[in-house]
Each structure stands twice: as C-alpha cells, then as structure tokens.
Structure 1
Amino acid sequence: MSTLTDRYVFTALRSIPEGQRGDIERELRGSITDDVEARVEGGQAPADAETAVLTELGDPARLAAQYSGRPLYLIGPDLFLDWWRLLKTLAIIITPFSFVGSVVVRMALEPGDPAVAFGAAIGTAINVLVHLGFWVTLIFAIIQFNGTRRKDLGLQPWSPAMLPQIPRKSQVSLGDTITTVVFIAFFIGLLLWQRIGSLLYLNGEPVLVLQEGLWSFWLPYVIVLLVIEAGFTVVLYLTGRWTYAFAAVNTILALAFMVPVLWLLATDQVFDWTFLTNMDWEPDASTWIAGITAAAVLLISVWDIGDGFRKAAKVSRQTPAASMPAVPSN
C-alpha cells in the first residue's frame, strides 16, 4: 500500500520532464524523510508528522513548477511591462484604422445607409481591440511558458535614461490622442463617402456637394495629409510632450492643409453649387457658405499652429531642475 509520501512524490513528478525526475525524486524524498524524522524525534506520531510535512510543502503541482522553472502565470513580471506597452501601442494605431477601413467598405456596399456603416465600424473596432488583447497575450504567454527571458529576446535592459519626463499640463493625454485620431478617421470617412455616395441626400436621392474634379488630385492629397496627421498625433503621444520640433512639424502640416483649401475656396473649386437648385436657398447662399468654410479653415489652422508653439514653450519653461548644472558642494 502506497504511503502519503509516495502519492505526493508521484503527483509532483508526473508534470516534470522525464530526464529530471530521478534527481528531483531523490532530493524530494530525502527532504521529506528528514523533516518527518525530525518531527518524530520531537514527539509527534509518524503519521501525523508525515501529514504535517506534506501540508507545509503545499500543492505538489506548484512544487513541481518550482523545480522545473515553469511559471504558474500567463505573463510574469519580467515581460509584463513589455506586453502592456506593446498592447497599448497597437491598440492606439490599429483600432482607429480598422474603424476607417470598415467605414469605407460598408459605405461601398451600402452607400445610402450611413447609420449602418458607422455602427458596423464601431463593432469592427471593438472586435479588433478584443483580438489584439487575445493574440498579444497569447504570444507573450507562450514566450513566458517556454522560460524565455527579456534578454533572450534581445530587448533593451532598463536604464535611468529610459525614465519618462516629469508629467506636464501640456502633455498629450491618451484621451486627446484617441479623440483626434477618431475625428480624423471620421472626416476621412466623410470624404470617401462623397466618392461612393454623397454628403447630402434629398428625397432619398444622393446630391453631389463637392466637385467631382477634386478626386483627380486634391481630395486624395487631403486624405493622405490627414493620415499623416493621425500618425503625427500617435508619435506625439508616444513621445510624451510637445517640443519646438513637433510644433514646427505641426505648422507644416497645418499650412499644407490650409493654403490649398483656401486657394480652392477662393477659386470656387470646392463645392458643386448645383445642389442649391434643389433647396429653397437664396441665390447668394454660395457666397456665405464659401466664406464661412474659409473662415473656419483659417481659424482652426491658425489656432492649431499657435497652440502647438504655446505648448512647446510651456514645456520649455518647465524644464526639470535635474537638467540644470549641479552646484559644486564644499
């Protein structure tokens, strides 16, 4: 009849590789025997001593994991931060673009039903986010289970140089970044919708609002510029703070959008005014529509440029004292 010790050792060894079982069995049995004998010499009954020793050792599966060096968790402390940073970065970059892609596809299939297109895009974005969480976690869990360490993956070890800047009020938050990228994705969706459907429907029929000739160059140009703007927003968030270099890039992007759009509005190359004939508007409506649009583009662009330099200047004034030259001590 097997003893409690035999059953304990058997349970522990069955999850250990065959080649390691001999040495571990001798070590484990020797440890249990010594502890039991010590308790018996102290006056405990042999059966009670054996039960007490095995209870202190705990679950044999956990003990086996310690012997074999196999972790009992999905993502251990060594790789947890790398998993979390990668997951956040992918979520910020991929989720908004999946939203835009879904809007484009849905509007191509059902151009007359925008609610369905945007509703499906939200569902797609959530689905992508869930899949990102699952697959990234699974990959890291497999890496962790195989005993791979950060140094084995060639990841840079932590050093003080990797410390983030002290938080400042002008830093770009995750919420601001997501809001900006989603707004850009929404605007790109509206432009693409104009290509396959319309921005305006009257009596269930699509009405052309933007001139078709814009698709020869200017609307693709604006879409590419908006994609670059979204990428700039993500890079700004990952960097963590505004600088004068970022403010300069932001200025270039703003001017690259503002100047052509204002010129197109001034030369009457943006709106297809035939849609006014289907509405009970005054004949001079085209003048104030173009004027309001130009004023909005100018105001938003100038504010964006000024805000970038304001934030960069604020960060510059708030340089941490640690970056100042040290005063020699006597």
Structure 2
Amino acid sequence: MKYIKTKQWQIKESEVTSKTLFNKRRDFIKLGAASLVSSGAIFELLAKDKIPLANLQYKKDKNENNLTLNSYEQITSHNNFYEFTTNQSKVKDMAHTLDISNWKIKVDGLVEKPMVIDFETIMKKFPLEERIYRFRCVEGWAMVVPWIGFELSKLIKYLKPLSSAKYIKFETLYDEKMFPDQARGILSTISYPYVEALRMDEAMNELTILAVGLYGSSMPKQNGAPIRLIVPWKYGFKSIKSISKISFVDKQPLNSWQKENKNEYGFYANVNPYVDHPRWSQSKERVLGKFFKQRTLMFNGYEKQVASLYKGMDLTKDF
C-alpha cells in the first residue's frame, strides 16, 4: 500500500473557503489542454469567474485533501497597496500605471558580488511551484491563496551573502510616475520607498517564498507584480510587493510601518491571537466571503514549522 505524506504546511479543507471555484478548476484540468483550446464553454467559465488563462509552468500543490480557495476575484479585488491608494477596492483599477516590463532587482550590501538581476533571469533560473497558504492581514481579514513562486532560500544561495549578513532587506520600486501616492511628497500616506526585512533564518525557512503569480498566471499588478515576498506566518504587511531592491545587512533594518508608528508595528509582526493591535483585535479574523469570524491561529497556523525560530523571545513584546 502506498502512503502519501502531506507536508506540514499544507492546510485542512475545513480551514479554507470557496469550494465551488476549486472544483471548477479541477474540472478544467480533467478536460485536458486540447479541450481547453477547443471548447468555448471552458472559456466562458473562465471568463465568468474572471480567471485568466494559465501562463506559468509550475509544480502543482497536490492538494491531497481537496483544499478549496478564495476566489480569484476576491484575491485580486481586496488589496492593500498604499503606493496607489488606501482604498482597498480601488487598487485594481489604478494599478495599470505600474510598468513591469524590463523589471530589474538591485542586489547590494554584504554580498560576494553586488549585481543587478533582471526578472527574466530569475524566471529562467528558479523552477516554480504552487503553495496554498493562509494570508492574514493585521486589520483582521484573511484569505487563502494559491501562490506560485519559489523558495527565497534558493535566491539567497544564488546571491551568496557574506556570513556577516544577519538580515535581508527589501524595497518596493520607487517611481512617482507609476505610483500616485509616492508623487504626493510630504503629503503621501507613508514614507517611500516601502521597506521590509527578515532575519536570515526567517528568510531561509522553507515556507518563505518569492511569488510571481497566483491561480496559474502571472502576478496581477494590484497584488505586487512582478515579484513579491510571501511569509505566511506573519501579518500581510511583511510580504512586500513589487520588489526592486534586496540588501544584505548586519543590523536590523527599520521597516516602513515601524518608522510610521513604532507603537503599533514591530519588526517581527508574527500572527499572534493573544496580542492585539491598538486598533484591531487579533483573536479572531474574517475570511473574505464569509460572514462569521473564525479563531485566529498562532503563527497563522504554521506554529509547528516556525515556533522554534523565536525560542526564548517574549512574543508579547517582540511584536
């Protein structure tokens, strides 16, 4: 008898949402590529659910438990991306100004060879895989997303940071023509460029990925195209979007929201139902598409995989 071992980070069917959409995607796969091309009915179904045709090659999450997901529409219509607007429902309508052609990422700091690496090189070098993860916002809402990307650790090994590097720092692109809030100067919502960072052991954890797509297709602009960070056990603001710079440093960086309000936002931002944000309770969360709230899980449900990273720390203080 063959036993299938499910990875610890895979989540139970009872903890995710919108089963109808997942079943439709499974039916599409059963029909095969030839049927997909020839059947107008399939295109109609895709259009109805506003799911773009897949354009990425990746290793699928086997989803042995027949997990369900939030809909593509929910994931791409409820976004925090302050560079465009603070209105979550309007980001997708404004994100067309983001030009992701010829995207490059500058790499500097404590690294063997500082460089500029283009997005196309990254896409050719690192095989992609699907990761179905919980996503939890500090504002109290949540969703489940089928991200497509690769482990950050693979890029780190390729970049060869020095042993003195203790943190990895990320920056979102700074371009006032593309991002209207950046152009507002001192009247902007926050200071730019947006900065986030991880401790090196957090960055090397197998759960930490760089995502380049979702639902089989390239990352939508409102979700952080062309490449963003995903750290599933932390609040969403840690998962920085539209990355244009990576720096390896030896001192803990000051992240954007720490800079804006150090009393409300900390460096670690681990999901913790026992520590409330001054403006939002963290004990429960509202999954997009659901009316009733559900209990928030420690480390967003990834406690077994990441709790050891914080052994000896006071998680009520080291927020």
Which structure: larger Rg? 1
Q: TM-score band, normalised by the shorter chain?
A: under 0.3
Q: TM-score, normalised by structure 1?
A: 0.22
Q: Which structure exhibits the higher relative contact order, with contacts defined as CA atoms closer than 8 Å and separated by 6 or more residues?
A: 2
- Structure with bigger strand share is 2
